[in-house]
Amino acid sequence: MSRRRRVLMAVAVAAVLLGGGTVVARGWAHRHARTFSAPGDPADVSCARCHGKDAPVKVAANARPTPFDLAVSPDGRRAFVVCPPQQRVLIVDVDDREVVGEIRPGGTPGSVAVSPDGARVAVTVVDTHEVVVADAGGGSVRTRHATGTEPHGVAFDATGGRLFVANTGSDDVSVLDLAGRVPAVRRPAGHEPYAVARSPDGATVAVVSRRSDVGNMDAPPATEVTLLDGATGVVRRRVRLPSCHMAEAVAFSADSARVLVPSIEARNLVPILQVDRGWVMAGVIASVDVATGAVALLPLTEPMRGFADPAGLALTADGRRALVLSGGTDEVALVDTDALRAAEAEAAADAPRRLTLALRYVRGRAPLRSNPRAIARAGDRFVVTERLADAIAILDADGKVVARLELDRSPPDALRRGEQVFHDARAAFQGHFACRSCHPGAHTDGLTYDFEIDGVGRDVVLNRSLRGVSGTEPFKWVGTNATIDRQCGPRFAMVLSRADVFDDASLKSLVGWLHSLPPPPPRPGAGRVEGVDAAARERGKKLFERAVRKDGRPIPPSGRCTTCHMLPHGTTGQRADVGTKGPRDGTGLFDIPHLTGVATKAPYLHDARATTLEEIWTLPDVRDQHGVVTDLSKADLNDLIEFLRGL
Partner 1 sequence: MTATRHRPAVGAVALVLLGAAAACGGRAAPPVAAPPPSPVAWLVTVAPRGAPVADEVVGLPDGARLLGLDLASSGAVPADLGAGLASAGDACVTADAMRVAFVGRRAPTDPWGVWTCAPDGTDRRAVAVGAADAAAPAWLPDGRLVFAMAVPDPAPLPALRRAWALFVADDGGGAPTRITFGAALDLDPTLLADGRVMYAAWQPGSAEGKGRFALFTVHPDGTGAARLHGDATTPPYLRRPRVGVDGTIAFVAGAFTAGDGGARDGVRASRAFVLDARNPAAAAAEVPAAAGARVVAPAADGGLIVASGPTWGRLARGAAVPQPAAAGLPADVDVWAATPLEARPRPQGHLSLVDPREAWGQLLALDARFPATPGAARVRVRRYDRAAPYADGAVLLETDLAADGSFFVRLAPDTPVRIDLVDASGASVARSTTPVWVRPRETRGCVGCHEAPDVSPANRRPDAVLRDAVRAFPEVAR
Are 125 and 108 a contacting pair, CB within 8 Å?
A: yes
371 binds partner 1 (CB under 8 A): no
The span from the CA of 288 to the CA of 407, in Å, is: 36
Element (H, E) at 513: helix 504-516
Applying the rule CB under 8 A, the residues between 568 and 587 that interact with partner 1 are: 584
Are 516 and 472 a contacting pair, CB within 8 Å?
A: no
Options 368-376, 379-387, 450-458, 556-564: segment touching partner 1 (CB under 8 A): 450-458
Please, which residues have CB within 8 angstroms of residue 7's CB and are 6 or more apart in sequence? none
Selected binder of partner 1 within 117, 338, 350, 577 (CB under 8 A): 350
317 binds partner 1 (CB under 8 A): no
Q: Is there a cis peptide before residue 603, judged by omega within 30 degrees of 0?
A: yes
Selected binder of partner 1 within 144, 236, 354, 575 (CB under 8 A): 354
Options 287-295, 409-417, 496-504, 522-530: segment touching partner 1 (CB under 8 A): 496-504
643 binds partner 1 (CB under 8 A): no
Q: Is 8 helix (H, G, I), strand (E, B) or coil?
A: helix
Q: How far is the CB of 239 from partner 1 (least distance, A)?
A: 18
216 binds partner 1 (CB under 8 A): no
Phi and psi angles of residue 70, each rounded to the nearest 5 degrees, phi first? -155, 160
13 binds partner 1 (CB under 8 A): no
119 binds partner 1 (CB under 8 A): no
Are 400 and 428 a contacting pair, CB within 8 Å?
A: no
Site map (CB under 8 A) of partner 1, residues 245-274, x = contact: --------------------xxxxxxx-xx
Are 247 and 193 a contacting pair, CB within 8 Å?
A: no
Output the CA–CA distances (angstroms, integers) from residue 618 to 306, 612, 623, 634, in the order listed.
Answer: 42, 10, 7, 10
Walk across the sheet containing 88-93 and list its strands: 70-72, 78-83, 88-93, 98-103
Selected binder of partner 1 within 402, 453, 482, 535 (CB under 8 A): 453
Are 268 and 395 a contacting pair, CB within 8 Å?
A: no
Site map (CB under 8 A) of partner 1, residues 174-213, x = contact: ----------------------------------------
The span from the CA of 247 to the CA of 598, in Å, is: 22
Selected binder of partner 1 within 157, 224, 302, 585 (CB under 8 A): 302
Selected binder of partner 1 within 498, 539, 594, 626 (CB under 8 A): 498
Quick one: 90 or 355, whose CB is closer to partner 1?
355
Q: How many Å separate Cα 552 from the centre of its chain?
A: 44
Please, which residues have CB within 8 angstroms of residue 251's CB and are 6 or more apart in sequence? 197, 259, 260, 313, 314, 315, 322
The span from the CA of 412 to the CA of 425, in Å, is: 19
Applying the rule CB under 8 A, the residues between 519 and 578 that interact with partner 1 are: none
Quick one: 301 or 470, whose CB is closer to partner 1?
301
Options 332-340, 472-480, 499-507, 541-549: segment touching partner 1 (CB under 8 A): 499-507
Options 18-26, 116-124, 346-354, 529-537: segment touching partner 1 (CB under 8 A): 346-354
Binding-site size for partner 1 (CB under 8 A) equals 50
305 binds partner 1 (CB under 8 A): yes
> Residue type at 389?
A
Element (H, E) at 174: strand 172-177
Quick one: 297 or 637, whose CB is closer to partner 1?
297
Quick one: 407 or 438, whose CB is closer to partner 1?
438
The span from the CA of 269 to the CA of 447, in Å, is: 9
The span from the CA of 190 to the CA of 169, in Å, is: 11
Options 86-94, 166-174, 316-324, 456-464: segment touching partner 1 (CB under 8 A): 456-464
Selected binder of partner 1 within 411, 490, 527, 554 (CB under 8 A): 490
Contact footprint for partner 1 (CB under 8 A): 218, 220, 242-243, 265-271, 273-274, 276-279, 282, 299, 301-305, 350-356, 359, 426, 429-430, 450, 452-453, 456-457, 460, 490, 493-495, 498-501, 584
